[in-house]
């Protein structure tokens, strides 16, 4: 078994990153953050990776912050308290920013429990597939915290305020099937089919114009605070740029010639 805290494997243009601390349900330590960041940076810089699948080793996806990590574990009486804001600034905020600025689509293949920052890590991915035995828990309130890793921004946008408040305040386990029904995730699939479904979806996205897919994420996220007129202007600006790129010319040429396109932009 590898000592790496994030395993990387490539199948053509698809990179699979597997969080690998199964004994602690792949909860985050500073070292796992570092390895994940390095793997995402390398994928962003590589012209060969066109889609990423993020998953977990063992029976969990990610249980959020490792609560035993000295970085966050409450200090003994008499010692200064830990500064959790610093952990967020140094680790979780850059992780979310990294994910949401990836030049290629990112799929979360949620293979088991996703709790706290682990749930919101998955929800920050572009498409979330989950095995039927997986679950999502906004565990923060149970330990006196608020949803982080983008949870306060994401939850009401994805499921609306009423459900966001229920999930965040109660911290109950939401099954993958319910998460799909809530519109929190893209799809719940049979456990045994998860890896295969994620791989098929990733290969499909990798063959698409990924530059346009990354621009789609950016435009949809950015439009959340715009007026309709501003969003229309933004669409014109982005479309002007994409219209000059290779993939648009190739897509239209392939359509006209009734052949399969070969997209290469990133």
Q: Which residues bind ligand T3D (CB under 6 A)?
A: 24-25, 27, 63-68, 72, 84, 87-88, 113, 115-117, 137, 139-140, 143, 145, 148
Rounded CA-CA distance 116/121 in Å is 9
In the bound complex, what is the minimum distance in angstroms from residue 265's beta carbon to ligand T3D?
36
Which residue matches tokens 């810089």? 45
In the bound complex, what is the minimum distance in angstroms from residue 245's beta carbon to ligand T3D?
38
Q: Which is nearer to ligand T3D, 92 or 248 (CB)?
A: 92
In the bound complex, what is the minimum distance in angstroms from residue 185's beta carbon to ligand T3D?
17
Q: Which two tokens mark 191?
A: 């456990």
Q: Which is nearer to ligand T3D, 23 or 236 (CB)?
A: 23
In the bound complex, what is the minimum distance in angstroms from residue 155's beta carbon to ligand T3D?
14
Q: Which two tokens mark 178?
A: 């319910």
In the bound complex, what is the minimum distance in angstroms from residue 40's beta carbon to ligand T3D?
18
Q: Which is nearer to ligand T3D, 147 or 251 (CB)?
A: 147
Q: Which is nearer to ligand T3D, 57 or 104 (CB)?
A: 57
Rounded CA-CA distance 258/222 in Å is 35
Q: What does residue 82 show for φ and ψ, rounded to 5 degrees? A: -70, 145
Q: How many CA atoms lie within 13 A of 126 on its CB side?
A: 26
Q: Which is nearer to ligand T3D, 49 or 91 (CB)?
A: 91
For residues 139 and 120, is the Cβ–Cβ distance under 8 A? Answer: no
Q: What's the DSSP call for residue 79?
A: S
Rounded CA-CA distance 85/87 in Å is 5
> First CA to last CA across the chain, in angstroms?
34
């Amino acid at each position: 078994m590898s000592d790496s805290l994030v395993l990387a494997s490539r199948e053509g243009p698809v990179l699979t990153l597997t969080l690998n601390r199964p004994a602690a349900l792949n909860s985050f330590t500073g070292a796992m953050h570092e390895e994940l960041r390095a793997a995402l940076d390398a994928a962003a810089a590589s012209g060969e990776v066109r889609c990423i699948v993020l998953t977990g080793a063992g029976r969990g996806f990610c249980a959020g912050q490792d609560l035993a990590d000295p970085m966050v574990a409450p200090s003994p009486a008499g010692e200064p308290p830990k500064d959790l804001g610093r952990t967020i600034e140094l680790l979780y905020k850059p992780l979310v920013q990294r994910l949401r600025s990836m030049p290629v689509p990112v799929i979360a293949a949620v293979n088991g429990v996703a709790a706290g920052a682990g749930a919101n890590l998955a929800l920050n991915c572009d498409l979330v597939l989950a095995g039927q035995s997986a679950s999502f828990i906004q565990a923060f309130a149970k330990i006196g915290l608020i949803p982080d890793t983008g949870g306060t921004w994401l939850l009401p946008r994805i499921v609306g305020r009423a459900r966001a408040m229920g999930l965040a305040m109660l911290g109950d386990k939401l099954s993958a099937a319910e998460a799909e029904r809530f519109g929190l995730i893209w799809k719940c699939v049979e456990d045994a089919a998860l890896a295969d479904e994620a791989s098929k979806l990733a290969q499909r996205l990798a063959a698409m114009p990924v530059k346009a897919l990354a621009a789609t994420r950016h435009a949809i996220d950015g439009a959340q605070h715009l007026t309709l007129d501003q969003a229309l202007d933004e669409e014109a600006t982005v479309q002007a740029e994409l219209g000059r790129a290779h993939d648009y010319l190739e897509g239209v040429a392939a359509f006209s010639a009734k052949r399969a396109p070969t997209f290469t932009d990133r």
